Amino acid sequence: MTITTTKNLSKQGQTDRDGHIRSSQKQVMDRLSADPEKAVVTLAMSGTVDDGLACHVTQGKHRAIMDMGAAMGGEARGPSPGFFARAGIVGCVAIATRMAAAREGLVFRSVHVDLEMESDDLALFGLGGGNAGPLETRITLRIDTEEPDDVVSDLVNRVLEMDPWFLALRDPQKVSVAWQRRSV
């Protein structure tokens, strides 16, 4: 972990934003603690590929398009699915770290996350006998703060132990798959 010291925001602006983040999270934590059964949620997303390789995905009011590049037969009408998977990890780690710092009254002016992921593209086609899953993932956080290194390290370690997308990458989970024939 690298800690930088660049000053990005005024202290008052940082304090106001952190206070809002802290109070918003406290409200959610109080509500969920009062009724823990409401803390277990199921999120549903759907996606459709019709013509070509572009996949149109929807979750509630949010929509995105994924596609493969021309080399894979797509038209690059959007980032690849792998982009969104990596973006989910980067965004989740960065946001969770910033949220936890604000909640604990630590001044983190910014949190920057770099992710490098190695994979075997030959395995993507079922060739070569390798695994198509990530072979190695490296995550680096750069935190703009004046907090002591041991405090920052402790917070980051605690955040990673409760960060959903970091844990989804790191830990095995139960996954079930079903398919249905669709008649037109």
Domain chopping of the chain, boundaries: 2-32+80-170, 47-79
- Residue 83 CA to residue 87 CA, distance in Å, equals 6
Lowest-confidence pick of 8-22, 30-44, 52-66, 127-141: 8-22
Architecture per CATH, 2-32+80-170 = 2-Layer Sandwich (3.30)
CA contacts within 13 A on the Cβ side of 7: 4
Averaged over 112-118, what is the pLDDT? Answer: 97
pLDDT given at position 14: 74
* Interval 113-126 mean pLDDT: 94
DSSP reduced 3-state for 70: helix
2 — pLDDT class (breaks 50, 70, 90): very low
pLDDT in tens, 132-159: 999 999 999 999 999 999 999 999 999 9
Q: Are 160 and 166 in contact (CB under 8 A)?
A: yes
**Full-model pTM:** 0.84
Containing 123, the helix (H) or strand (E) segment is none
pLDDT, average across residues 100-119: 96
Concatenated DSSP letters for 75-95? --SS--HHHHHHHHHHHHHHH
Q: For the sheet containing 55-59, what is the strand order?
A: 46-49, 55-59, 62-66
